[in-house]
Each structure stands twice: as C-alpha cells, then as structure tokens.
Chain A
Amino acid sequence: MSLIGELLLILAAVTSFGAVALSLGGRLLRRPRWSRWGVWALSGTLVAATGAMLLLLTAFLTRDFSNLYVFEHSSRSLSFVYTVSAVWAGNAGSLLLWLLVLAAMAVASARGAWRRSPLSAPYLVATLSAMTLFFSLLLLFGPNCNPFVQHPTSPPPSDGLGLNPMLLHPGMVVHPVALYLGYVAMAMPFALMVAGLVNGDAVASWIAPLRRWALAGWLFLTIGNVVGAWWAYVTLGWGGYWAWDPVENASLVPWLTATALLHSVIIVERKDRHRLWMVSLTSVTFLLTVFGTFLTRSGVVASVHAFTASGMIPWFASFLLAMLVLAVAVVGRRISSLRRDDGPVPLISETFSFFCTELLLSVITFVILWGMVFPPLVHAFGGGEFGLGPEFFNAGAAPLGLLLVLLTALCPLVRDSRGSKGRLSRDLLVTGGFGLLVLIILLVLGVRRPYPLAAFALASMLIATVVLTFVRNRSVRRVRRRYGALLVHLGLAILVIGIAGSWSYKQSVDGDLAQDEALFLGNVQVTYRELSFSDELDKSDVRARLALTVDGRPGGELLPSLEYYPASDQIWTRVARRGSLGGDVYVTLLAVSLEDDVVSLRLELHPLIGWLWVGGGIMALGGAIALWPARRRRHGAVEEATSSGDTPDGRPVAPSGDPSAVAPGGPSGGPSDVEG
C-alpha cells in the first residue's frame, strides 16, 4: 500500500515534469502535437493524484493503522464524516488534497485555454504543471510531507491516536477545504495571465476566465474565512472570531487583494483601463496564497494553526521566489502596453471611484502584511523579539475598514450618475440622509462611542445605496453579475454591523457558583442547577445545567461542558450559546470543584454577532450568484461577459468556454456593459 502510494506520487511528479517539458518544448519548437501531449501528461498527474487520494481515503476508512498518517490522525471510534476530514487534518494529507485540487483545476483550465487560444495554452499548462510538479516533489521528499509512510512497528497498532478533539467540529469539514479551494483557484488567474502576457494575447481574450476563476477563489475564501471565524468563535482559547492571528491574516490578505482584483477586472472590461492594476493584483493575490501556505506550514510564526513541519522553509521560499520572478518577468515584459491608459480620469467617474477602492484594499493589505512581517524582520536583523498584538491591527483596520464601507456606499452611485454631479448629489442626499438619520437615532438612544457610531451609520448608508441601486436599475435585477455584486455589498454592510456590535460592546463576567446561585450580566441571569456526568467510549464529560433568564423571563437551559479524551489526554471545553439577532449569550464552564459542588463559569454577551454570520452568508451567496453561468439571450449574445463551459451547479469546471463568449473589453464596453 505504501509502495503503491509512493509510486503514484512519483507518477504525478513524472507526468507533471513531462507536461512542463512537452508544453514548452512543443510551443517553442513549433510542434503543436507535443503541446497537446502536454495536456495529456497533466491529465496523468490528475489521475495519479486522484489514485493517491483514493488510496489514502481507503486506508482511513478501512482503519489501516499500518499507515503512519492514518495512525496519527484517526481512530476506530471516529465517525465517517470526521474520518474523511481527518485526511486533511495533518500536513501530508492536506498537501495531497492540495495537489489533487490543483491538478483538477489545472486540467479544467487547460482544456478551456486550448479551445480559446492554442498558441498561449502551452504556457498556461507549463505554469500550472510546474506547480503540480512542486507539490508532487514536496509530497515525496519534503519533511513530514509523505502520507504513505509505514508505521514503524510490525504488526501495526490495533487503534490509532485519533483526531485531535479540537478538530472534531463541523468547521473542520468546511473551513480547511474551502480555503484550499480558494487558494488553489487563485493559481488559475495567475497562469492565465502568464500565458496571455507571454504570448502577447489581447487582455480581452483571457479576462473572462480570469474573472471567473478569481471570483470562484474569492467565493471559497469568503466561505473559508467566515466558517473559520465562526469555528474560532465557538472554540475556547482561539481568541474569538478574529484574533489577528498571523494565519488568519494570511487568509484575509489574498481575499482583500482578490476583491480589489475583481473590481479592476470590471474597469478593464468596461473602460479598458487598470490593466496594470489587474495583472499586479492577480500576481499579488497568487503570491499571497503561496505566502499564506508557507506561513501556515513553516512554523515561522506562532499560531493556533501551526502545523509543526520544520524544514519546509527552503521549499516554500524557493517556490515563492520562483513565482515572484516569473510574475515580475512577464509583467515587466509587457509593461508598456499594460500601462497605456488614454487620457486623465475625472474625479467623479466610475474609473476613479474603482481606483480608490483598489487602492484602499491594497493599503489595508499592506498594513496587515506590515504587522505580520515587520516583527520577524526586525528580529532577523538583530533587533529584539516582539510581536504586534491585536491593538496594532485594530488601529489600522478600524478606520481603513470604515473608509472602505464609505467607498462601497459611494461607488455604485458614482457609476449610476455617469458623470452627472446633480444626479450624484441627489442620490447622496438620500443615502447619506438615511445614514445621518440612523446616526441621530443612535445618539438619541445613548450610543456615544465613535467607532460603532460611524460603523452603524456608514453601514446604513451602504444598505440605502444597495436598495436605491437595486430599485432604480431594472437591469440590475436581470444581470446576475451585478445583482450578485450588490448582494455582496449588502452582506458587507450587515457584516460590519455585526463586527461593530460584537467587538465594541462585548461584555464578560467570571464567577464561582454553588448550586442555585446566579451570575448576572446586563439583562441576563444564569443560575447554576446541577452537574451531570457521562462516559462514552472515547471521552467522558461533565456537564453543567444552567437556567437562563433574559429580562426576567425564563430563556431555557444552557449546557456547557468539559470533555476529557483519554486517548490524547486532552480536555475540550464545549461552550453553550443562546443566540438571537440581538446577540449571543455565551457560557463557558471553566472549572468544576466536585468536593463542594461549585462551578466556575464565564458569562459573555456578544451583541449583534449573529449579523456577522448572516452578512458573511449573504456575501457568499452574492458571490455564488455572480459566478453562476449566464443565460444566453434570445438574440444569441451572452448576458454577461462570461463563459459557457461550466457545470450547471455553477462551479467553474472549464471557465473558459467558446471564444464568442469573451467580452471585447474596449472602451465602449462589451456585452457586460449593462446600463448602456
């Protein structure tokens, strides 16, 4: 079994290398047939990676503990779903998943590229195959990266160590996979860009698949981050839904640059400007995903996410460097044609407002990266060892984030005004007036803190903008892409309300309670009733029964518990929550004194936190709607500048489609120009 696994990994490496060699060789020596074989070689990588993954999955499901990775990450008592998710619980398995997803997306992308442009497709195949080659080699030779290592003892142990109890959570099923998909999808726009620029293709010929892959990646990153935040929120000791942990930041920065990228794509399509922005953001987004992976796995930073796999630094550093050089080289080669923008841009114009958005998102990215990279850099150059805590990131993110909300509230109006200042002022009177009204109401209600006040007012203004744009433009409701974008903006507004409420007005109290004693916080009272105990096969737990009273009315029971997993000698604190749109009551059982029947509790109130999850969900929904393949119009044109080569469920299996679907991104706008 380990032998077959290793052979499959070797096959993946060999086919990847073959794909690079055949694609490039065929293109440079003008032998198209070789380049065709390159795609077949890449498909061979996909087959090998699929085989390896199936083999590993089989080992997990058949409880084959002779496989060291299976032994370390699962046990007989693990349920089916968590056994499957144990595949990506460690370094080696998640790298294999990475390779598989990369190979699958690469094949899909390559097929589309061949249909579109046989001359540039080999460059795309070579770029992506170089990446699959890197991951295949990493799996084979990287430290602690091979999922097919035999357990040293013979016969193998009868049971495994089990999955880390912290990972026994629905978040484990979604969060890592969504982020991997998002990270890997960002490699496709990069490869499309490299191929297009090397071959000298017009941007218009590869912008549609670029947008779709970037949007798919954005969607997965959104889902991954929101689910990750929710998972961290319900898990004690992970610092709440967002702790500015380096690894959290690492998944946030490519999301920010991808958001900027998607905005630059619109300007390239509609105005034929911002081409340099678009390729730069494509490169930066991809490099940030590599950087994020590197950060997560190298152990460079201390983090709740840290996988211990030392020795990864040279691998990822060289890969990152190689990709950086590639990006700089191809963009540099075409820089003069990318920079060509005709004429200055008026201040009140779609182009300028999008420019501000892209710039602001880049600035936020820069500030966050600074906070991540500056302390280790200072230390590396002989300075003292220090870190930048959440205060640093909050100081930057709060004002810049609010500015972003303001811009989001302004941009669609600027776009609709089409240069008419009168119309823009009338619109601003409506949306700004609504924001001001909310501000006054909040002031009257006694809200005094500046940041939440500003956040609530600006979010209200943004909601008004979305509603106004939606109601006024009948076309918006028909064009899925703009409809989706507006939903994303609406989700952002709701998300910001959730963040402002829960971040600024979180309350917490600790207390030791004997039976029938109560803990009070705000309008909430929690009374300790009794303890109950249970023993299961793999764990034993202590559960406190608490009676909840809200505003003097009974609000049901809360059952926080402490679980103990003997196999890994680990305690796991399960919090209890009662949520509504107003906020969550959140109770943690910190400790139990059995002798005197006293429990130590922490009672927390997280106002408006539910809005965060609702807002995040709406953002993901908006992204999915924008990604959904377009319907063909009756007169043969396509509704949106997009492709037709997708599966009905909207996932970009081959987001390239036929060339007729590609928007001619001239200044007059393509079929995507919906308001003309």
Chain B
Amino acid sequence: MGADRLSATMRSLGARKIKVLIAAVVAIIAVGALIWLGVGRGTVYYYTVSELKALGAVENVRVSGRFQEGTLVRQGGTHFSLTIHDRDNPSDTMAVIYDGALPDTFKQTAETEVVLEGDHRADGTFQAHTFIAKCPSKYEAAP
C-alpha cells in the first residue's frame, strides 16, 4: 500500500484523468475496429428460395427452403445434387449441388427444412458448402 500512496501523490489527478481518457478512447476504437472488421468478414445474408431467385447470382449467402422429395441423387462419393423449393411458393424451385457429408438430422421427406450456405451461381444452381437440416421434430416431439 505504501507504494500505492507514494505514486498516488506523485501523479496529479488531472494528468491521470487525461491518460485514462486516452486509454479508453484507444480501447473503444480497437474494439470498434474488431467488430467492424468481423461484421465485414462474418456477415452471411439469409434468403428464401424465392428471394434468392429474384436476386440473381450472389456469393456467400444462406438459403432456406424445403427439400423436394425424391430429388436427392448421389453423384458418387459425397457429391450430391438435390432440389429445394420455397416454403411459401412451392413452385419456386432451385437446383442444389453439395459436396460433403449429409447431416444425420436430414431425412429425405417432403417437409424437411434445409438451410444451405454457399454461392448462388449465374446458371441458377446453388453450390452449397454447408448443409443444415432442420428436423421438424428437433429434440421435442410436437406438442
């Protein structure tokens, strides 16, 4: 404590406050920059199938829709093609190409909701790198 008191008297209160203020401003700017940087890198926009079709080609987006029953075809290994359709306008469909493992939650039934992340290409297909299946029952059976 003695050392505490000593340096306390050595420092004038005004100079200290300015230092604290500078430190706070630097910290806020640094954190703000981190958030700004992160938002720039990490933002993924969410669309429905209909919205994405209207938007056209766009990279790194997330699309949600329903699996079209009977359209899943394995093109060897873990290369899949499938078709999804819009939740509200089932006539709006989109062809999907996906490389990777199908999640265990994915059931090949019509009501299965899928969420895909990837690129919507100019030819209208969706190249997915992430495949999330929303099982309608999740962990709870419907009440």
Residues of A within 8 A of B (CB): 72, 89-91, 143-144, 161, 164-167, 236-237, 302, 306-309, 343-346, 349, 351, 359, 363, 366-367, 370-371, 374, 384-396, 399-400, 418-420, 510-512, 569-573, 588, 590-591, 600, 602, 667-668
Q: Given A392-B38, A395-B34, A396-B35, check contact A590 B78 (CB 8 Å).
A: yes
List B24-45 residues whose CB lies under 8 Å from chain A. 27, 31, 34-35, 37-39, 41-45
B115: CB under 8 A from chain A?
yes
9 closest A-B pairs by beta carbon, nearest first, are A392-B42, A419-B3, A395-B38, A392-B38, A391-B42, A346-B7, A512-B77, A385-B46, A237-B103
Q: Given A90-B139, A346-B8, A367-B35, check contact A392 B77 (CB 8 Å).
A: no
CB pair A388 B38 closer than 8 Å: yes
**Smallest CB-CB separation from B47: which chain A residue?**
A385
CB pair B8 A343 closer than 8 Å: yes
Among candidates B38, B45, B104, residue contacting A236 with C-beta atoms closer than 8 Å = B104
CB pair B38 A371 closer than 8 Å: yes
Chain B at the A interface: SS class: mixed
A215–B58 CA distance with the chains assembled, in angstroms: 49
CB pair B43 A388 closer than 8 Å: yes
Among candidates B45, B77, B78, B139, residue contacting A164 with C-beta atoms closer than 8 Å = B139
CB pair A367 B42 closer than 8 Å: no
Contacts of B3 in A (CB 8 A): 346, 349, 418-420
In whole Å, how far is B66's beta carbon from the nearest beta carbon of chain A? 15
CB pair A600 B77 closer than 8 Å: yes
B12-34 contact mask (Cβ, 8 Å, vs A): 1 or 0: 01001000000000010001001
In whole Å, how far is B104's beta carbon from the nearest beta carbon of chain A? 5
In whole Å, how far is B70's beta carbon from the nearest beta carbon of chain A? 16
| Most B Cβ at <10 Å: residue of A370, A392, A591 | A392
In whole Å, how far is B135's beta carbon from the nearest beta carbon of chain A? 8
B122: CB under 8 A from chain A?
no
B71: CB under 8 A from chain A?
no
Q: Given A308-B140, A419-B4, check contact A363 B78 (CB 8 Å).
A: no
CB pair B27 A386 closer than 8 Å: no
CB pair B139 A363 closer than 8 Å: no
Q: How many B residues have CB within 8 A of the partner chain?
A: 47
CB pair B42 A371 closer than 8 Å: yes
CB pair A144 B143 closer than 8 Å: yes
In whole Å, how far is A385's beta carbon from the nearest beta carbon of chain B? 4
Among candidates A89, A363, A591, residue contacting B27 with C-beta atoms closer than 8 Å = A363
Can you list 20 residue pairs at the A/B interface with Cβ under 8 Å?
A90-B139, A91-B140, A164-B139, A165-B104, A343-B4, A344-B8, A344-B11, A363-B27, A371-B38, A384-B45, A385-B46, A386-B43, A386-B44, A386-B46, A387-B62, A388-B44, A389-B43, A572-B104, A591-B77, A600-B77
B1: CB under 8 A from chain A?
yes
B121: CB under 8 A from chain A?
no
Q: Given A367-B35, A590-B78, check contact A393 B140 (CB 8 Å).
A: no
Contacts of B103 in A (CB 8 A): 236-237
List B46-60 residues whose CB lies under 8 Å from chain A. 46-47
Contacts of B8 in A (CB 8 A): 343-346
Contacts of B142 in A (CB 8 A): 308
Among candidates B5, B46, B76, residue contacting A343 with C-beta atoms closer than 8 Å = B5
Contacts of B62 in A (CB 8 A): 387
Contacts of A302 in B (CB 8 A): 115, 132, 134
CB pair A386 B45 closer than 8 Å: yes
CB pair A72 B77 closer than 8 Å: no
Among candidates B31, B102, B105, B139, residue contacting A307 with C-beta atoms closer than 8 Å = B139
In whole Å, how far is B24's beta carbon from the nearest beta carbon of chain A? 10
Contacts of A359 in B (CB 8 A): 27
A391–B42 CA distance with the chains assembled, in angstroms: 5
Instruction: List 20 extra interface pairs beyond A237-B104, A306-B139, CB under 8 A.
Output: A90-B139, A164-B139, A166-B104, A308-B138, A308-B142, A344-B8, A346-B3, A346-B8, A346-B11, A367-B35, A386-B46, A387-B62, A392-B41, A395-B34, A395-B41, A419-B3, A419-B4, A573-B101, A590-B102, A600-B78
Contacts of A511 in B (CB 8 A): 77
In whole Å, how far is B40's beta carbon from the nearest beta carbon of chain A? 9
In whole Å, how far is A397's beta carbon from the nearest beta carbon of chain B? 9
In whole Å, how far is B5's beta carbon from the nearest beta carbon of chain A? 7
Contacts of B31 in A (CB 8 A): 363, 366-367
Contacts of A367 in B (CB 8 A): 31, 34-35, 38
Contacts of A371 in B (CB 8 A): 38, 42
CB pair B42 A395 closer than 8 Å: yes
Among candidates B99, B104, B107, B140, residue contacting A573 with C-beta atoms closer than 8 Å = B104
CB pair B107 A569 closer than 8 Å: yes
CB pair B101 A307 closer than 8 Å: no
List B118-143 residues whose CB lies under 8 Å from chain A. 132, 134, 137-143
Among candidates B34, B74, B77, B107, residue contacting A400 with C-beta atoms closer than 8 Å = B34
A379–B34 CA distance with the chains assembled, in angstroms: 22
Contacts of A345 in B (CB 8 A): 4, 8
CB pair B42 A72 closer than 8 Å: no
Contacts of A667 in B (CB 8 A): 1
CB pair A396 B77 closer than 8 Å: no
In whole Å, how far is A181's beta carbon from the nearest beta carbon of chain B? 20
In whole Å, how far is B113's beta carbon from the nearest beta carbon of chain A? 10
Contacts of B138 in A (CB 8 A): 306-308
A370–B34 CA distance with the chains assembled, in angstroms: 12
A436–B3 CA distance with the chains assembled, in angstroms: 31
Among candidates A161, A309, A391, A602, residue contacting B101 with C-beta atoms closer than 8 Å = A602
A166–B34 CA distance with the chains assembled, in angstroms: 36
A103–B95 CA distance with the chains assembled, in angstroms: 54
Among candidates B5, B35, B44, B105, residue contacting A237 with C-beta atoms closer than 8 Å = B105
Contacts of B100 in A (CB 8 A): 510
CB pair A395 B37 closer than 8 Å: yes
In whole Å, how far is A560's beta carbon from the nearest beta carbon of chain B? 12
CB pair A388 B42 closer than 8 Å: yes
A387–B45 CA distance with the chains assembled, in angstroms: 6
In whole Å, how far is B14's beta carbon from the nearest beta carbon of chain A? 11
A399–B38 CA distance with the chains assembled, in angstroms: 12
Contacts of A165 in B (CB 8 A): 104
Among candidates A143, A161, A351, residue contacting B143 with C-beta atoms closer than 8 Å = A143
